[in-house]
Amino acid sequence: MLSLLDEIKEDLIIVNMELEKVVESPQVLLAETSRHLLQAGGKRLRPAFALLAAKMFRYDLQKLLPLAMALELIHMATLLHDDVVDAADKRRGRPTVRSIWGNKVSTHTGDFLFAKALTLVAEYENPMIAQVLAQTCVSMSEGELIQMSGKYKPDLRNYLRRIRCKTALLIAASCKLGAVATGAPPSIYLPLWRYGYFLGMAFQITDDVLDIVADERKLGKPVGGDLREGVITLPVILALRESPHARYLEEIIQKRTKSDRDIAEAINIVRNCGATEKSLDIADRYIRNAIRELQSLPDIPTKNTLQYIAEFIKVRSF
Amino acid sequence: MLSLLDEIKEDLIIVNMELEKVVESPQVLLAETSRHLLQAGGKRLRPAFALLAAKMFRYDLQKLLPLAMALELIHMATLLHDDVVDAADKRRGRPTVRSIWGNKVSTHTGDFLFAKALTLVAEYENPMIAQVLAQTCVSMSEGELIQMSGKYKPDLRNYLRRIRCKTALLIAASCKLGAVATGAPPSIYLPLWRYGYFLGMAFQITDDVLDIVADERKLGKPVGGDLREGVITLPVILALRESPHARYLEEIIQKRTKSDRDIAEAINIVRNCGATEKSLDIADRYIRNAIRELQSLPDIPTKNTLQYIAEFIKVRSF
């Protein structure tokens, strides 16, 4: 993935350094938890998309920095709140803020980072940036509730709406706003929004497949996590339609507490009926849609980068 | 209090109606929890200050509505997150969202309302409104951490910084931005900011006194709640300096679990040494500072209203 980002590598390092500065606070604990989160790594996918999208018009790092930082801070804030409500102890193989400092600190640090993000985008003259980001955050919290209301229910519509709200819209906003921040017209930022949207859908589907098939050490958390929580993802929905053991799978899903053996058996059923391959086929359709959106954009090297990133989504293993 | 707000009473009703509309969501649960919160009442103090402040320049309800709603939504969002981290079951005498729907729903509804607030203020042409609000939210989460770091410690500096961040800054922002939203110059909005700031400090101090001396039914929650949580407020800090039973009070404060009897005894010690009266004296000094800030503002009836509100702060019993 990293080599795909060669053309913005140095600027991403600057984004990272600025992120470390912006989370400074007279409250030592806030600064410490924010730094912990920053240093836990992560792909900085959303800032990267904003920078790449800006290449399609008049790239200017100074204009992009507040946006790029805000996108990552919003993403971090949602992770902090997710960890609290999911009582998660590990993320990306490292202990979560809540597992070290507790739920209170994690909740308030999330609010802090979210508010910080909004101070950054409030600087832009074009109000569209703050508007789109705030609306995306509204949708993201709606996505959380869609997920809760869909628990234990294998419902494709609920699944697609949820991953749209929880993942695709922020990636779409990253692509769109990177262009908007440099003054690009709709003919540039609308295809970029759609590229980001399709890519985000594909990204979440492959993420959900990885939760079933991944190597636990590479994933940095136990596999089958969604299943354990009653969160029904695409591979499971498809397995319930296609597997000869669908009824047994359904029984496991409905259990409110699942043993490790339950999870292992459910994963085997999903793996052995072609549901993960079929899910990746669906991800592939989104990827092809994403790539098609690039056609109308200027023929610059970044266009190839965006295409490679889309193609990389489905072959990644972490 | 209500009769003090006569001149904006009808407009506050419109703010309320618009608030009920703005929290509508395709996610039924989000709409339901938000409505529960709106209908739980509350004084709508922050919208009221924004409207009153606007009277000092060119009052225009249409220009004020998004701001007034955003202020209340931000306040509600912080209550939802506070209830989660404090595991509170009651607020204003009614069950909290978390006690009915659980912590997850309460956390995500808080995020939802906060993001909604920011979509509203992103509409303003003047970026100062979104900037000040976002910065105020940063300070409010810092205030939460200041409170956590000051637990069990009777530290006056920590107390004053905390109530500034947690309460005074949002009331100050309400007063300032009500004027800013109608295009007022600094000579109008700066004294209003200071008025709101001093008033907010006084408001929180009297709130903290009420937590010690109030009638439980009027308060809508058990008295001594802060003490139970290890949150040391001004009356307790003063009692530790002045009471002949200071050492015993200190012992109770340091207990990590306190019995009802511990709380009752601590409250008696604080009540019987003049610490609550002395706290109200300090609140009174802030109130007089607030009133002094009104001097430079236009001599319109609203000026009297703002003065009455300031004077009301210290005689209220709920």
Per-residue pLDDT reduced to its tens digit, A23-72: 888 888 888 888 898 888 778 999 999 999 999 999 999 999 999 999 99
Angle between helices A260-271 and A275-293 (to 10 degrees): 60
Question: Which residues in chain B show pLDDT less than 50?
Answer: none
The Cβ of residue A299 has, within 10 Å, a number of other Cβ atoms equal to: 9
Chain B hits for A78, CB-CB cut-off 8 Å, are 111
Q: What is the pLDDT of residue A110?
A: 94
pLDDT of residue A178: 98
pLDDT in the model for residue B132? 96
Enumerate residues 6+ apart whose C-beta is below 8 A from B130: A118, A122, A130, B118, B121, B122, B124
Report pLDDT for B16: 94
Chain A residues within 8 A of B111 when measuring between CB atoms: 78, 81, 114, 137, 140-141, 144
Please count the other Cβ atoms lying within 10 Å of the Cβ belonging to residue A258: 19
Cross-strand pairs, B94: B91
Contacts of B231 in chain A (CB under 8 A): none
CB A107: neighbour CB atoms within 10 A? 26
Q: Quickly count: other Cβ atoms within 10 Å of residue B157's Cβ.
A: 9
Q: Is B61 on the interface with A (CB under 8 A)?
A: no
pLDDT of residue A2: 55
Distance from CA of B127 to the nearest CA of A (A): 6
| Percent of the residues in chain A that have a pLDDT greater than 90, as a whole number | 71
Average pLDDT, chain A: 92
Tell if the CB–CB gap between A145 and B27 is shorter than 8 Å.
yes
Mind telling me how many Å the CA of B245 is from chain A's nearest CA?
A: 33
Q: Do A144 and B119 touch (CB under 8 A)?
A: no
- Nearest-by-CA chain A residue for B27: A142
What does the DSSP assignment read for A214-238? S-HHHHTS-TTHHHHHT---HHHHH
Residue ranges of A 135-174 with Cβ closer than 8 A to chain B = 135, 137-138, 140-142, 144-146, 148-149
Is B251 part of the contact surface with chain A (CB cutoff 8 Å)?
no
Chain B residues closer than 8 Å to A131 by CB: 119, 122-123
CA distance A133 to A115: 12
| Distance, CA of B262 to CA of B159 (rounded, Å) | 22
pLDDT of residue A71: 98
Comparing C-alpha atoms, which of B252, B278, B271, B257 is closest to residue B156? Answer: B278
Q: Of all residues in chain B, what percent are helix, strand and coil, respectively (each to 5)? A: 75, 0, 20
Greater confidence (A180 vs B149) lies with A180
Buried b (16+ CB within 10 A) or exposed e, B79-113: bbbbbbbeebeebeebebbbbebebbbbbbbbbbb
With an 8 Å Cβ cutoff, are B127 and A131 in contact? no
Nearest CA in chain A to B109: A141
Q: Count CB atoms within 10 A of the CB of residue A6.
A: 9
Q: Which of B27, B81, B118 lies nearest to residue A142, judging by beta carbons?
A: B27
Q: Which residues of A125-154 are buried (b: 16+ CB within 10 A; e: fewer)?
A: eebebbbbbbbbbbbbbbbbbbbbebeeeb
In whole angstroms, give the CA distance from residue A124 to residue A129.
Answer: 7
Q: d(Cα B143, Cα B124) in Å, to the nearest integer?
A: 27
**8 Å CB contact of B122 and A119:** no
The beta strand positions in A10-113, using DSSP E, are 90-91, 94-95
Residues 8-27 on B with a CB inside 8 Å of A are: 25-27
CB-hemisphere CA count at 13 Å for B194? 15
Residue of chain A minimizing CA distance to B128: A122
Q: How many CB pairs under 8 A join A and B?
A: 139
| B126 contact A CB<8A | no
Please tell me which of the candidates B85, B116, B137 has its beta carbon nearest to residue A103. B85
Length of chain B: 318
Are B134 and A125 within 8 A, CB to CB? no
CB of A130 within 8 Å of a chain B CB? The answer is yes
Please say whether the dihedral angle defined by the alpha carbons of residues A45, A46, A52 and A56, taken in this order, is positive or negative: positive
Taking the Cβ of residue B104 and every Cβ of chain A, the question of whether any pair is shorter than 8 Å is answered with yes
**Tokens read off for A137:** 């955050």
Question: Given an 8 Å threshold on Cβ–Cβ distance, is B141 in contact with A26?
Answer: no
Closest residue to A84, CB basis, from B107, B123, B125: B107
Inspect the interface and report whether the beta carbons of A130 and B131 lie closer than 8 Å.
no
Instruction: Mark yes or no for CB contact B118/A125 under 8 Å.
Output: no
| Contact across the interface for B119 and A138, Cβ inside 8 Å | yes
For residue B315, what are the contacts with CB-CB under 8 A and spacing of at least 6?
none
Give pLDDT, residue B1: 56
**A317: confidence class by pLDDT, cuts 50, 70, 90:** low
How far apart are alpha carbons B8 and B54 in whole angstroms? 11
User: pLDDT at position B194, please?
Assistant: 98
Q: Which residues of B are less than 8 Å from A30 in CB distance?
A: 141-142, 145
Smallest Cα distance from A75 to chain B, Å: 13
Which token pair is B26? Answer: 């395709």
Q: Are A283 and A313 in contact (CB under 8 A)?
A: yes
**Complex prediction ipTM:** 0.90
- Give the pLDDT confidence score for residue A92 in this predicted structure: 74
Here the tokens at position A85 are 């409500």
For residue B160, the distance in angstroms to the closest alpha carbon of chain A comes to 15
What's residue A202's pLDDT?
Answer: 97
What is the least distance, in Å, from the CA of A256 to any CA of chain B?
Answer: 17
Q: CB atoms < 10 A from the CB of B142, how many?
A: 24
> Which domains, ranges and CATH numbers included, belong to chain A?
2-315 (1.10.600.10)
Taking the C-alpha atoms of residue A100 and residue B256, their distance in angstroms, rounded to an integer, is 20
SS3 content of chain A, % helix, strand, coil (to 5): 75, 0, 20
pLDDT 10s digits, B240-288: 999 999 999 999 999 989 999 999 999 999 999 999 999 999 999 999 9
Separation CA B144–CA B162 (nearest Å): 7
- Where residue A89 falls among pLDDT bands split at 50, 70, 90? confident
